[in-house]
Structure 1
Amino acid sequence: MTGLRGAEWHARIECGGRVSGAGFLVARDKVLTCAHVIEDGDVAPVTVTFPQRPDEAPVAARVVTHGGWDGRTSELGDLAVLELDREPEIVPAPLAPADVAHDDRRLMAYGFPAGYDEDGTIAECRTVTELLLSGEWIQLETWSGHGQPLAVGFSGAAVTLVETGQVIGMVTAAAGAHGVRTGRMMPTRVLARYWPGLSALVPQPHGMRKQEPEHHFAPDPEPVAPVPGHPDGPRLRALVERAARAGLDCDPMRLYSAAAGSYDPLPPREGFGSLWSAAWFVLCEVDDPDTVTRFADRLDALLTAPPRPETGAILIELGHSGAGADLVRVEVSAYSAGRRHPVQAETVPKSLLRTCIQDRIEDAFCHLTPGADELIAFALPRDWLDWPVDRWEKGPDDDTPLGCVHPVVVTDHARRRTSTRHVLTSAWKRLDSRAGARVHRVACGGVEDPRKLRLALVQSEECLAGFGATSDAARTRPHFETSLTAPAPVIVWSRRGCDPDRADCTGASDCPGTAFLDALDTLVSHVPPAQLPRQVLNLRQLADAEEEHWARDIQLLWDDPRRFTDPHATAVHRRSPVA
């Protein structure tokens, strides 16, 4: 059988001294297997043997790439790359072209189920469609009604074309149920999403000039493999290589979302590990050739675009002074070029607060680069979060609302703690890939358990909590507090939302809070979270000329700690009463 003749690259994986699955050699010192096969590899030794070379001693291995599978929250990314301690004298597995057809062709997998731990055994199977389940797997079926079915011990085995011996994918699962003779395979084009190094080993698709794959591997090589036969394929490959050389700061998820058509597949739930992974997805998984062209055009535009404008921020921290109810502690800082510039710290009467802030904002702008994309943030005690700071006058001789001139946001003093900033920074790194925000609506009735709200904000994709009632409404105040402490990176409400004293409101269509949430949904669905302050500025400018505009009294709590980084911050500042 061609599938085994000379195929010494088939591997048996042992974890902690027991056979846990299969694998296959793809480069001189790299073996592919499933992540669940080496699930205990962080605490137990992993070794690889090659049954077709019985005289070859077991080789110790370590995990160098992991697809993200954890068996609890995600079944996706069930791939691991093992690096061998020494290179065996074995030719790596031949890989089939990424576009090779395998519908209803005879396939073979070599695994190590119970009773065949030493020598292994063969299962013959086939695919009846190349449809990707969950964007990741292709279903396998047993070739005939008798013979060895796929079972535990085949995970990580290469799936090969019987007539050529070329690898088209890897077994990731068997049905498990008695009498069900099916399984799942992750094709090589999906494997390459998780490990870009594999794309450098996949040979040319049919119809293009043939190149022999190189059977060696360097850490994270630039993709040199040919790409599927699209007219813009070579151009896209050249652009990706150019982007890698230039160190382009590019979000692959956002780039794909901008290029994808209405009927193109959704991107993988776990995202793209690299720009090449996104390009490979476009070339292998998308049927519309125009998407490839759009993707290449947008990448080309990023490479030729002028540099992004510098950002700057002004932080105004207000707090109870402790010296009297009429006194307010004010501390103003400017953030520019990764540095904090203290402007002024003082205690002033409430009657002089606005004048003081007007002066200090002018002083702070002296530290920002002219033309930088500015942001003004008010850090307030929790009981002051509803203050209409965006409606305060810009200056003593200019009564234009501050929020109609600059992006103005608020945040909570308590969220200035280092541990909370750490959580928020991690959240924003995930949000950077979003082309739009999703609102978790907290309706006026406040019927949702606040504990469930916390879970939704922490674990789901919603990044924005929207409130139909005002922030001091008794029925939703627990939910507001939960959103602050979760912490939700973005919280939006209206200072004139549903009447806080109207305890019987259920959030029907005639409720002003419901109308506000509906308008908010429409606004944020196509706005990246990072651009919300600038978008709200535009809304405030419109609402200033229209008394009944839905966004006239919008309050935006927007909290991205990266706008306020200070590598030279002192311990005194971090622990100051208003820090």
Structure 2
Amino acid sequence: MSSASWHTRIACGNEVGGGFLVSARHVVTCAHVVAQDDPARGVRPTVTFANRPDLAAFHATVVVGDAWGGGVTDPGDLAVLELAEPAPVAPAEFAPLEAAYGAQPPKLLVQGFPDGYDDEGTLAEYRATADLPIAGEWVQLEALSGHGQPLAPGFSGSAVALAHTGQVVGMASAVAGDPRVRNGRMLPATAMARYWPRLGDLIPTPGYGREDKERLRTLIARAEAARVECRPEQLYNDALERHGTCPPERRFSSLWDAAWYLLTEAKDTGAPARYAARLADFVDDDTATRHALQSWPQGRPSPPRGPSPSPRTTPAPPHRPAPAPTATATAAPAPDPGPHPHPHPHPHPHPACKAARQWESVLVEIDHSGADRGQFLVTVSLGRGRDRQLVGARTLPRAKVRAYALERIGEAYRLLAPGADDLIAFALPKQWLNTPVHEWQRSKDDPTPLGSFSPVVVMDLSRRRDAMLQHALHRSWQVLEEQADLVLHRIECGSGRAAKPLTYELRRRAGLLGFAAPPKAARAKEQFKAGLNAAVPVILWPHTGCKGGHEEDEPCPGSTFLDRLAHYLTARAPGELPHEIWQLRQNPDQEWAQHLTLLWEDPRCLPDPAVGYQHSPIS
């Protein structure tokens, strides 16, 4: 401590206290020490360096100090002074967050300026009682012994530092009212940074360096300037997901306050990055700030886990043997659908492989908002296997769902690893499943459909959230990958098959399910539910199919579609269908497939549903 030249004595009016230098021109002290500051009357703080008597006094200006209400127990008793000129003194260094606490708390030293020591100051020896904050603000200090210098007026604003290193852990802010009670309070460093965010750059935090915090602080300020419509508590809860750390009893005073709490209190070191990404979703009018928040702290997305071969360049293995005729229909020889866009489809992966590709999935979940049936909760995430990174979640009227989903899909692609196997998966309510999301125009500047740009599949949102059906889906994929022959169960035009026996049949023999027409009619809807309840992993149908009204001896467009589909699927592995159908959609000779809808769900390579957002609409 004898070499700590950053200790300061501060005089303002008739008040004297301590302070400490944190940058060449900034000194931190208590707000009540400089409460008499009034430049109009010529009352301004004067700063001297107690351990550098060779330096003249510095004039200073109070630049931070409005958070304190003026009462002894009011929070925010912190002020920052800006010196008229830089001080030739090395600033104080802050200790790690837990350094002042423990089973045997270390000795803490405080240099103050009580009566009798107005100029040179004196030292008091204390220790922290516990790291449990009082009213979420202060830490109690108790004297190391029953004699020696107690905390008294003149110590307020002084640094509380580790005796063995000189590193700062907090600031003395209050003394006991009775001089016989040898205790006091300090404002810990973590609380100080709530009132002056720049201080957070200097305080060590797990996993994040000074530049990371400075950048986050700047981005939060830019987001606030853009008037984002979100609450700190909302972003905090979203960032924690299902991980540790309960929220504090107090309300957050700002977006930075919540971010700082996560930086210093969350046991999950990934929570601050999720907080930044969640905030990004609400920055609508500042694209640069949104992108910077999404990629904080490193400035670029983290790499995927495991290998991720590109679908554009992966070498193709030889054909799988063609299967035997399906068990559910004996159709006439199917017309040749034309040349395959990918002449060497991938074979069934070995069961030990678990999934043919290491997809990086852009998962779009659309659900009715709990607040209003006319509102929909749209959640967009990037999935690497079972891991999820939230990109955006917003409650919107139906008319705005498409534009928001497409914009956030584009944002998710900024986070994909170069060359990754990309998959866009829409988890939709049943009444949305025939929405041709694969035909959505990719962007305002690109009129081509989304499904020609990337593999696009749909899933039933309610099945995604049914644990029993998810377990059954795992089993269905295991059976499919062990089969030598691929079965396509056909639902022909006008089929009257009852749902219950169809469910049993689909469970008995795992396979794919094909519809000759969109499942919109009442009977077809029940048959479609049968496929979902039987845990059929792949269901296919044309967006525009047979409309009926033709004679029995006339060719049915729906049957023709199923024939083409059966022929096409003979040499395809179910796990590769998103990639295969994507390539098929790009072939102008395969017009029959342009309006094909693919329901495909492999829970082994998709993140779990966003259950945290099911019931609480986000606005």
TM-score (normalizing by structure 1) = 0.44
Higher relative contact order (CA 8 A, sep 6+): 2
TM-score (normalizing by structure 2) = 0.41
Which structure has the larger Rg? 2
